[in-house]
Amino acid sequence: MREKAIVVENLKKSFGTKKVHDGVSFTVYDEEIFVIMGPSGTGKSVLLKQIAGLIKPDEGRILVYGKDVLNLKDEEEKEKFRETLTYVFQSGALFDSYPVWYNVAFYLIEKKGVKEKLAREKARHYLSLLGLSGTEDLYPSELSGGMRKRVAVARALCMNPKCILFDEPTSGLDPVMTAILDRLILRLRKEFKKTCVVVSHDVNSAFRIADRIAILFKGKIVEIGTPEEIKRSQNPVVKQFINGEPEGPITEVLEQKNG
């Protein structure tokens, strides 16, 4: 029986009068690439941040490898949780004033007390694995967007988590760099045995990397399935979204908001 990596149960979240999530539930399994998709403004990134413990839901439960994210008792439990699950921000969230190697090794040095010489070697190792040899002493401002995202992944790997959360990893990238990032995520699952949860609006990318895809719309998961199942879906929301059709339920909601 496959181990459950993440269990989200009846998650509800509002900001003021705006209801973002209204009973979101799903399960992600160990060593699975699970992609969350949906129209802009449906709360995909908010959902990811709730799983990471960065935003607290109003109701519901989130389990990460059996641990209740919302009820971590003390700093020791919180630290163990941070070692289990890592969040890769859309921008990469690198420290501009530190060189690349220090960004990658930041957690080891600042939280684990690893000596800089050893931490630098570990950083160099992960940078090499991601095709970034020779960038150790550069600064984030000297890197391309795709390189910054790979540095952020190297930093995540340096923490050796079981699960990595990606917020729009291919956003703003050209088709070639998108393909490179897709291949990297597939590698994380195959070679490093990582569970990956990816928020994306890129349909082609999702079909390339996902084991399963969840479609979020109007605060709920309207469908979960393999890429082939999603392609064959008769759900009008899913059909409009994956085919990029101008008419359908997604457009109707947008018109109501703007009307």
Per CATH, the number for 4-91+164-256 is: 3.40.50.300
| Cα–Cα distance measured from residue 242 to residue 121, given in angstroms and rounded to the nearest whole number | 43
The two three-digit tokens of residue 18, written as one number = 């705006």
Residue 1 pLDDT: 76
Q: Is 127 in contact with 104 (CB distance < 8 Å)? A: yes
Residue 174 pLDDT: 85
Each domain of the chain, given as residue ranges in start order, spans 4-91+164-256
What predicted TM-score, i.e. pTM, was given to this entire model?
A: 0.90
Q: Is 241 in contact with 37 (CB distance < 8 Å)? A: yes
Residue 153 pLDDT: 86
Residue 258 pLDDT: 57
| Cα–Cα distance measured from residue 109 to residue 130, given in angstroms and rounded to the nearest whole number | 21
Ramachandran area for residue 184 (φ above 0: left; ψ -120 to 50: alpha; else beta): alpha
- pLDDT (tens, 9 = 90+) of the chain, 259 residues, equals 789 999 999 999 999 989 999 999 999 999 999 999 998 888 999 999 999 988 999 999 999 999 898 888 877 787 788 888 998 887 767 888 999 999 999 888 887 888 989 999 999 998 998 888 889 999 999 988 888 888 998 898 888 899 999 998 888 888 888 898 899 899 989 988 999 999 998 999 999 999 999 999 999 999 999 999 999 999 999 999 999 888 888 888 766 665 5
Residue 30 pLDDT: 96
